[in-house]
Amino acid sequence: MEGYKSFLFFLISSLLLGFALVIFVLVWVLHYSDGLAWNGDSAEFNWHPVLIITGFVFMEGIAVIVYRLPWTWKCSKLLMKFIHAGLHLTAAVLVIIALVAVFDFHNAKKIPNMYSLHSWVGLVVVILFMLQIVVSIVVFLIPTTPVSVRAALMPVHVYGGLLLFGGVIGTALMGITEKLIFSLKNPPYSSLPPHAIFVNTLGILIVVFGGLIIWIATRPDWKRPPEPTV
Ligand code: ASC
């Protein structure tokens, strides 16, 4: 593999950053906010950022680059497909729970649903993500799908996956911003209290994580070597 050391640097950086994202969101909700519970209150809302960042940012990021880990190249392509799909499906479950948490919290508090740009873009991303999963299982996992169809759809699958991953990151940044504006009143967000600095930093780390994952996923030299289609 060309540039193995550089690959390892990007991989280890993105793994460390991914874990840091999960720690940051947990510190945000457990230390700066009202913790985690399923009680129709702010602690229930807090599942939303925790599950989105764990599932839709970190787990998805790993799912995107899982074929590129050189020590998996001796594993069968089919096994790697199951791991790739399994990470996406697990992320999908976390995302659904994250959405239920936010709707349930809004309804309990009589807060309107689906008015913000965050919610509009987020819903489109979630719907397209679910569509990508269903289409990809049919096209790439069901053995009877002709190779010509797989080959035609592969660029759309790769582009769609990266577009969705970028969409998740943009949506997460909007969600973080609106949550800070809503929740920081005294002292306000504009006075930049430690809570705001901490969560702004989380937003920056999400962008850097996304940048690393997209870099790893788009280096042609780091692709899994081709083999007969499974
Ligand atoms: C697959 C698979 C590939 C591609 C290829 C078409 O399902 O394992 O390597 O699709 O056959 O691009």
Kindly indicate the confidence band of residue 1, based on its pLDDT and cuts at 50, 70 and 90. confident
Q: Which residue bears the tokens 């169809």?
A: 149
Model pLDDT, residue 190: 98
Atom of ligand 1 nearest to the CA of 227: 9
* % the chain with pLDDT above 70: 99
| 133: amino acid identity, one letter | I
pLDDT at residue 230 is higher than 90: no
Give 209: exposed, middle or buried? Use CB within 10 Å, 0-12, 13-18, 19+: buried
Atom of ligand 1 nearest to the CA of 230: 8
pLDDT at residue 31 is higher than 60: yes
Task: Give mean pLDDT, residues 164-177.
Answer: 99
Q: Which of 76, 83, 147, 223 to mutate to test the pocket of ligand 1 (most atoms within 8 A of CB)?
A: 147
Nearest residue CA, atom 8 of ligand 1?
Answer: 229
Give 23: exposed, middle or buried? Use CB within 10 Å, 0-12, 13-18, 19+: exposed
The string of pLDDT tens digits covering residues 36-59 is 999 999 999 999 999 999 999 999
The string of pLDDT tens digits covering residues 174-227 is 999 999 999 999 999 999 999 999 999 999 999 999 999 999 999 999 999 988
Q: Is the peptide bond before 187 cis (omega within 30 degrees of 0)?
A: yes
Mean pLDDT value across the chain:
97
pLDDT at residue 161 is higher than 90: yes
The string of pLDDT tens digits covering residues 66-84 is 999 999 999 999 999 999 9
pLDDT at residue 228 is higher than 90: no
The ipTM, to two decimals, is: 0.89
Model pLDDT, residue 210: 98
State the angle between helix axes of 117-136 and 77-109 in degrees (0 to 180), rounded to the nearest 10: 150
pLDDT at residue 129 is higher than 70: yes
